[in-house]
């Protein structure tokens, strides 16, 4: 276990934990002021490949089977899905979809999911687990991003300078915590003591997903909430 992960676990779970890390995958249990929780996720910027996705899915199912209703704390520090030819040939997208389905099963069985982003949070490494949580928080050092601007410039053929200019006004293009907070995808970084912040998040009643509305309120996503309402039929009378 890296010193960074050990320090994070100590700050989140001062009452004790039995969390282990192997090849960047975190699994175990811990005690909080809100009760016992299951802990799983990624650490050290681990890339999520076929084996990791299957291991995480299996851990979710084990918690559902052995500890009905136990809250799940998801730790996030991943550089994304592992983009090797082997993973693609084996159908990594299907394994990630299976992980997402297991997470949704846990939610429907009454498991509260709280994600804590501590490092990188990128693409397929975080979407089927961390960003499917009921609440998604961050600590100091969190750096969520989708694609670096130089890589985006190569893909879109737009000049890097133009993308840098756009990222200053559009949170959709801006990597980093501030941009994701404006989008409504994350809450502002927790201040210590982290254990108290986590206990409060675990005790908070689960409500409807307000990320689109938060993005509108924070000026990061101006159309998502309105489009979602129309797709759901809430604004059926609008032209």
- Domain spans of the chain? 3-142+186-207
What pLDDT score was predicted for residue 220?
Answer: 86
| CA neighbor of 113 nearest in space, from 122, 100, 123, 103 | 103
Tell me, what DSSP letter sits at residue 131?
G
Strand pairing category for 113-122 and 143-145: parallel
Residue 60's Cβ-side half-sphere holds a number of Cα atoms within 13 Å equal to: 31
Specify the CATH number of the domain 3-142+186-207.
Answer: 3.90.226.10
Per-residue pLDDT of the chain (239 residues; tens, 9 = 90+): 888 899 999 999 999 999 999 999 999 999 999 999 999 999 999 999 999 999 999 999 999 999 999 999 999 999 989 989 999 999 999 999 999 999 999 999 999 999 999 999 988 889 998 899 999 999 998 999 877 788 889 989 999 999 989 888 888 777 789 889 999 989 999 999 999 999 999 999 888 888 899 999 998 888 889 998 899 887 655 55
What pLDDT score was predicted for residue 150?
Answer: 87
- In the numeric block, which tokens belong to residue 36? 């016992």
What pLDDT score was predicted for residue 236?
Answer: 57
CA angle 74, 119, 210 (to 5 degrees): 55
What pLDDT score was predicted for residue 237?
Answer: 57
Tell me, what DSSP letter sits at residue 239?
-
3-state secondary structure of 224: helix
Alpha-carbon distance of 203 to 180, in angstroms, equals 24
CA dihedral (91, 109, 30, 27) in degrees, to 10, reads: -10
H helical segments located in the chain: 3-12, 50-66, 85-90, 92-108, 123-126, 149-156, 160-169, 177-183, 194-203, 211-217, 224-232
What pLDDT score was predicted for residue 5?
Answer: 93
Predicted model pTM: 0.89
Q: Is 232 exposed, middle or buried (0-12, 13-18, 19+ CB in 10 A)?
A: exposed
Which residue is it, tokens 């687990």?
129
Exposure string of 70-107, with b = 16+ CB inside 10 Å and e = fewer, is bbbbbbbbbbbbbeeeebeeeebeebbebbbebbeebb
């Amino acid at each position: 276990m890296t010193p960074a992960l050990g320090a994070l676990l100590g700050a989140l779970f001062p009452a004790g934990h039995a969390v282990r890390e192997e090849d960047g995958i975190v699994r175990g249990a811990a005690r909080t002021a809100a009760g016992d929780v299951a802990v799983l996720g990624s650490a050290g910027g681990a890339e999520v490949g076929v084996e990791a996705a299957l291991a995480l899915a299996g851990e979710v199912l084990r918690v559902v089977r052995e500890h009905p209703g136990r809250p799940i704390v998801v730790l996030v520090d991943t550089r994304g899905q592992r983009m090797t030819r082997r993973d693609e040939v084996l159908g990594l997208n299907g394994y990630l979809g299976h992980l997402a389905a297991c997470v949704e099963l846990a939610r429907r069985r009454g498991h509260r999911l709280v994600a804590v982003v501590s490092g990188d949070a990128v693409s397929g490494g975080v979407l089927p687990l961390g960003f499917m949580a009921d609440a998604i928080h961050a600590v100091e050092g969190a750096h969520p991003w989708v694609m670096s601007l130089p890589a985006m410039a190569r893909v879109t053929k737009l000049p890097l300078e133009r993308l840098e200019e756009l990222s200053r006004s559009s949170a959709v293009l801006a990597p980093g915590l501030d941009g994701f907070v404006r989008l409504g995808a994350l809450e502002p970084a927790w201040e210590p003591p982290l254990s108290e912040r986590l206990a409060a998040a675990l005790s908070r009643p689960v409500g409807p997903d307000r990320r689109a509305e938060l993005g509108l309120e924070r000026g990061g996503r101006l159309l998502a909430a309105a489009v979602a309402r129309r797709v759901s039929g809430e604004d059926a009378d609008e032209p």
